[in-house]
Chains A and B, each alone.
Chain A
């Protein structure tokens, strides 16, 4: 079997000219980022009760009979508690109910009212999961979530600055911010619920994206020492090419495993795994097309024996 192990047919060294297309992808990334930021304001995020306050209840019929979602909706509509979201899940006999607690009313009283209305209309159901988050706590959770994202980016910047050079730090952080913004855009686009788990997913994307960038940067630093006279853009191309097979194998493994999680992990982890998958694809892309080209724009110090490389204009022009 000449094709196995598969790794033999992946060329050990590719010669793709990544930097050549940096300008195109740079513009594309910028456009996507702007669109993502805009989408966070309009149409806006689908905030979960963790961050918006309110109640979410998972209900299942006690005898396994099918649940009529319209009937459930009808039961709660007359309660004057504002918008009630009813979403069927997995099988026909379960649904998730989401609603707000009107100002000045006791959480438990509203929940009891909703439950008795449903019992009256639909019959006995089992409430397998009930979450109620007060407006005070949800505000705090949201603030601490944003704080965590900010802190993660700052700490990553500091770490790269410390381990590499400032230019690398800027490149890495630009990549990170890019990834986080695009994942937010995707969350809006797919109407995924933005909740505490989602913040954990985004933080993990930050960790992964950083991981990916570090692997490329590590090789870049090594090659900068090794080929002191090679133009910077060629060193970048070389480094990305050398790490390409690793990037592909690790990325593909992670995505396949997360796909399994999305399919078999149940409702609670679906959004989480979709966001992670997207983040891994975006993070891999940004290591190549956001983080590295920024270093090119900035220029980098090539050690004491070489002259400082001058920033090089990006473009489709023929390579020197």
Chain B
């Protein structure tokens, strides 16, 4: 019934008050917003990176490479353990999650098994260890990661990577970065503002895997370059990418044992990196250096030998210095990486989108201009088509609709993107559709000979079902965009969704209240929009 029911008036008045209250912070500067009293809403529209400028990076954790590497380490452990136990092996065969050893002397199987069983790692509460040792018979033994370990490696690597990436980005001083997991193997980094995307990518792209390994001086580098690399050694390149080094595979101490790194200077005053090991690292480094005085060892970062100094004496204090040809900037970046910890697996940048703040501001200006022009067009058109009263009512509804959309977007902190602004403009255009449907119904009913009140009443009632159907279809489209869409498209979908609700509310309820008030005060004899 078209009448001024109290609850409808209250609802419209409340929506106006809350709309104003929630949309109001958008008129303030960030500083003014921060100084608002606590009970007032403080949130302004949350602009997407395409509008405020910033970088978006989609990173993929190379889990396969990490599994590969973990198996490499396992094989190295097997080699060392067997040597220390004095068990000779004919062959070590790599398999998916571990290695199978064929012993030279099958009768030593038990001794070999004992040696491998010491390598399974700590046993957890469920009675399972990370690795599993087995006797296979025929003088063969096997050490492998358990199924569960292999499966959880990916998730663990992603979690660790997120932590490391967060520490590294914080060290760049980036404002409010958002770092989230996407799917099983991906990380999304969103850094708003004027950050240098190249620096961001550089610090994220480096694994920062630091290891100390002995140089293999027993075998010739030239032989290795020619393809004959001894099984327990590997061929690596120097930081210049030209000088080959042959180093032992066994890792003496790794970056995990670092407690602190800092920028220092070597004897001739060039930038160097000072570091300190934890207790375990200091002990191992001390023992190794004591046993290898006069021999060179290699300091390896991400598979490149950055320096290979000769051990002058036992280093037992747990501190040391890495010298190389660093610039100050390189040295401090490296220090940040080392302090942030190594990534468990290499990260590859799969997608990168950067927008400067200026371009974002241009987009906001263009969007605001289009929205304003669109609004004026609708205003003029509706008043031309339906007159000041009925056209005006729909324009008031539209204005409230706009206010409510801004309020709802500010309240939910949904991201407003450039396509989202387009969604907003389109919502305006389609919002008048509900008014048009109602008015056309009224005209139909008036033509069928009904009174003003009856035809207005019927207009609202009969158009309602159609309005509902028509808007649910838009909601379905928005839902699909939300489920399947990527970033900016989701912003568009969200704007569309909020717009559907606010526009139905303002077109139906607001017009009803306004027109009912007009009916009550003007007591018209004829419907102004009827022929």
Q: Which residues of A contact B (CB under 8 A)?
A: 4-8, 12-13, 58, 107-108, 112, 126-134, 136-137, 141, 144-145, 147-148, 151-152, 155-156, 159, 163, 196-197, 199-200, 203-204, 206-208, 210-211, 214-215, 218-219, 242-243, 245-246, 249-250, 252-254, 256-258, 260-261, 263-266, 268-269, 272-273, 276
Contacts and interface: CB of A to CB of B under 8 A. Distances in A.
B330 interface: no
Given A5-B528, A210-B477, A214-B470, A272 B484 contact: no
Interface stretch (B25-33, B262-270, B361-369): B361-369
Contacts of B350: 133-134, 136-137
Contacts of A5: 383-387, 390-391, 528-529
A130 B466 contact: no
Contacts of B529: 5, 7-8
17 contacts: A4-B384, A5-B529, A7-B443, A107-B352, A112-B198, A132-B353, A137-B350, A144-B484, A155-B476, A203-B480, A204-B477, A214-B473, A250-B432, A254-B426, A258-B426, A266-B363, A269-B419
A80 B301 CA distance: 32
Which 6 residue pairs are nearest across A and B when measured between Cβ atoms? A207-B477, A148-B484, A5-B387, A210-B473, A128-B359, A257-B374
A14 to B, nearest CB: 13
Contact of A265 (B367, B432, B439, B528): B367
Nearest to A5: B387
B355 interface: yes
A272 B492 CA distance: 12
Contacts of A197: 419, 488-489
Contacts of A133: 350-351
A257 B428 contact: yes
A208 B430 contact: yes
A199 to B, nearest CB: 7
B422 A269 contact: yes
- Chain B interface size, under 10 / 10 to 19 / 20 to 34 / 35 or more: 35 or more
A7 B440 CA distance: 9
A211 B489 contact: no
Contacts of B366: 264-266, 269
Contact of A132 (B50, B349, B384, B436): B349
Contacts of B238: none
Contact of B356 (A128, A200, A258, A276): A128
Given A129-B353, A207-B477, A214-B473, 17 more contacts: A5-B385, A5-B391, A6-B384, A126-B356, A130-B352, A130-B353, A133-B351, A148-B481, A148-B485, A155-B479, A200-B481, A204-B426, A207-B473, A210-B477, A214-B466, A249-B432, A253-B381
Contacts of A243: 440
Interface of B: 50, 58, 60, 197-198, 201, 205, 348-356, 358-359, 362-363, 366-367, 369-370, 373-374, 377-378, 381-387, 390-391, 418-419, 421-423, 425-426, 428-430, 432-433, 436-437, 439-440, 443-444, 447, 465-466, 469-474, 476-481, 483-486, 488-489, 492-493, 496, 528-531
Nearest to B466: A218
Nearest to A245: B440
Contact of A130 (B197, B370, B383, B439): B197
A12 B441 CA distance: 10
Find the residue from A155, A269, A272 having the highest chain B CB count within 10 A: A269
A272 B205 contact: no
B322 to A, nearest CB: 26
A159 B349 contact: no
Given A13-B447, A204-B426, A257-B428, A128 B481 contact: no
A152 B58 CA distance: 27
SS class of chain A's interface: helix, strand, loop or mixed? helix
Given A5-B391, A12-B444, A151 B426 contact: no
Contacts, number: 232
Contacts of A210: 470, 473-474, 476-477
A105 B399 CA distance: 52
Contacts of A199: 485, 489
A224 B30 CA distance: 59
A148 B201 CA distance: 31
A149 to B, nearest CB: 8
A266 B530 CA distance: 41
A96 to B, nearest CB: 12
A272 B382 CA distance: 25
Nearest to A3: B384
A130 B354 CA distance: 5
Contacts of B472: 159
Find the residue from A7, A219, A243 having the highest chain B CB count within 10 A: A7
Contact of A203 (B205, B367, B390, B481): B481
B352 A137 contact: no
Contacts of A141: 486
Contact of A250 (B436, B488, B496): B436
Nearest to A152: B480
A94 to B, nearest CB: 10
Contacts of B349: 107-108, 132, 134
A210 to B, nearest CB: 4
Contacts of B481: 148, 200, 203
B381 A256 contact: yes
Given A7-B386, A214-B473, A258 B419 contact: no
Nearest to A143: B484
Nearest to A155: B476
Nearest to B474: A207
Contacts of A204: 423, 426, 477, 496
B237 to A, nearest CB: 17
